[in-house]
Amino acid sequence: MSARNEVAPATVGVELAEEGVYVEYLDGRRVLYRGVPRREDGTLRCQPGKQVQVLITDPTETEGVMLYINDLDSHDDILESTGVGRILLDDGESREPFPGVTVTADGYAIEVEADPETARGRVFVFEEDEMGERSVELV
């Protein structure tokens, strides 16, 4: 497997709908993260081995930035063409990729903590694998 790098996110389109959250990537593709996100306070601990994406919307909820956390599958050029960023964390490492959003690697699990007021937007976490997906809004 070739090396993967951190990639800075760009602004992507966001639409909040009854059926879930749509994200429109820079390459024109539109993806639905299914289901109304469950609202949760505090820190969200994602299941070990799941793909974890964090989306922070702007105050108008029409744009946002999206990060993949510890994703080693996506090629850098694909992420760059879509506008999705990536951060890579070592076990035990915490980082604040955006004000009000802290991401921590705990073994193979990822923890996300958010203060939406400081983030100045809504904070969504999408957790998925081939068995299913879960959408959470941190409040």
Neighbours of 16 (CB within 10 A): 15
Query: What pLDDT, in 10s, does the model give residues 47-94?
Result: 998 999 999 999 999 999 999 999 999 999 999 999 999 999 999 999
pTM over cut 0.75: yes
Q: Please write the tens of the pLDDT for every residue from 93-133.
A: 999 999 999 999 999 999 999 999 999 999 999 999 988 89
Residue 42, token pair as written in the block: 């505090």
Distance in angstroms (rounded) separating the CA atoms of residues 54 and 64? 10
